[in-house]
Amino acid sequence: MSWRSVAAALLLAVGLQGCAHINHWATIVTPHGEGHEGWEATVSADGPADVISEPTIVPVSLRGPQAVADSDGPYLLDSGDRIRVFVYGQPNLSRLYTVDHGGAISVPLIGRVPARGLTTYALESRIKARLGAKYVKDPEVTIDVAQARPFFILGEVRSAGQYPYVSGMTVRSAVAIAGGYSERANQRKIQISRRINGLVEKLEVPDDYVVQPGDTLLVYERFL
């Protein structure tokens, strides 16, 4: 297959994803060599490709979060989450715990247990291992999220502040929870600040983008 056919197929795929209102970019790059300069085409779901020069080979890299993909991943624990831990036959250990600012919970007998970045299943395994090593024979541990950490919404909404997270919520529903847009709101430009692997990433997103627990939304002011 020629590079032109491959590039056309890739551009078509990105265009179709744009129809689903997923705001991301695709970069198609070829190495130097074979008498051609290095080439890059940057494709936006919202606009045309910007082709710099001619390619020879077309490997692909997609970068940027996708609304659908973000909603489908496993829930990862972080500060502010309230979790329900049940240890069979151990009422003193079975209770609600809050993940603290250090990303851990404090469990009787075994002390602080790191929870940040773990799924509930991974945390179950960690607690089982610690209890089973010294205190409880063959412990049975079950964990579920009793209350997800809140999200925050600032800027041009009627009631900015902190609100409980609702599973599957989008920017549009988050704004509705905050009382709707103010008269000066720029409804086309919303920023989400999200902690990813310990770093805060800032994204400008459409109103159908999926919100995650702990996100901070900023609705910009509209200037006329």
In a domain, 74, yes or no: no
Dihedral sign for Cα atoms in the order 71, 76, 77, 78: negative
Domain enclosing residue 209, as ranges = 151-221
In a domain, 29, yes or no: yes
In a domain, 76, yes or no: no
The pLDDT of residue 198 is 72
Cβ(39)–Cβ(13) below 8 Å: no
Which band of pLDDT confidence, cut at 50, 70 and 90, is reported for residue 168?
confident
Of 147, 181, 203, which closes a domain?
Answer: 147
What is the number of structural domains in the chain?
3
Cβ(216)–Cβ(180) below 8 Å: no
25 pLDDT more than 50: no
The pLDDT of residue 48 is 44
In a domain, 195, yes or no: yes
Q: What is the mean pLDDT of the chain?
A: 77
Which band of pLDDT confidence, cut at 50, 70 and 90, is reported for residue 199?
confident
In a domain, 105, yes or no: yes
Q: Residue length, the chain? A: 224
Lowest-confidence range among 159-163, 181-185, 196-200?
196-200
Residue type, 75: Y
Token pair 């198609």 in the structure block, residue: 28
Q: Which helix (H) or strand (E) holds 219?
A: strand 216-221
The CATH number given to whatever domain includes residue 210 is: 3.10.560.10
Residue type, 52: I
pLDDT digits (tens, 9 = 90+) for 74-93: 889 999 999 999 999 999 99
193 pLDDT more than 60: yes
The CATH number given to whatever domain includes residue 126 is: 3.30.1950.10
Is the domain of 137 the same as that of 156? no
Residue, of 109 and 64, whose pLDDT is higher? 109
Q: What's the whole-model pTM score? A: 0.62
Kindly state the percentage of the chain with pLDDT values over 90: 59
How far apart CA 177 and CA 154 sit, in angstroms, is 12
Is the domain of 121 the same as that of 180? no
Of 121, 147, 173, which closes a domain?
Answer: 147
How far apart CA 33 and CA 81 sit, in angstroms, is 52
Assign 130 to helix, strand or coil. helix
How far apart CA 55 and CA 29 sit, in angstroms, is 8
pLDDT digits (tens, 9 = 90+) for 28-79: 333 434 443 333 333 333 444 444 444 433 333 333 444 443 445 788 999 9
Which band of pLDDT confidence, cut at 50, 70 and 90, is reported for residue 102?
very high
Give the residue from 85, 97, 99, 95 showing the smallest Cα distance to 140.
85
How far apart CA 42 and CA 25 sit, in angstroms, is 7
In a domain, 129, yes or no: yes
Is the domain of 157 the same as that of 214? yes
Token pair 């129809």 in the structure block, residue: 19
205 pLDDT more than 90: yes
The pLDDT of residue 206 is 92
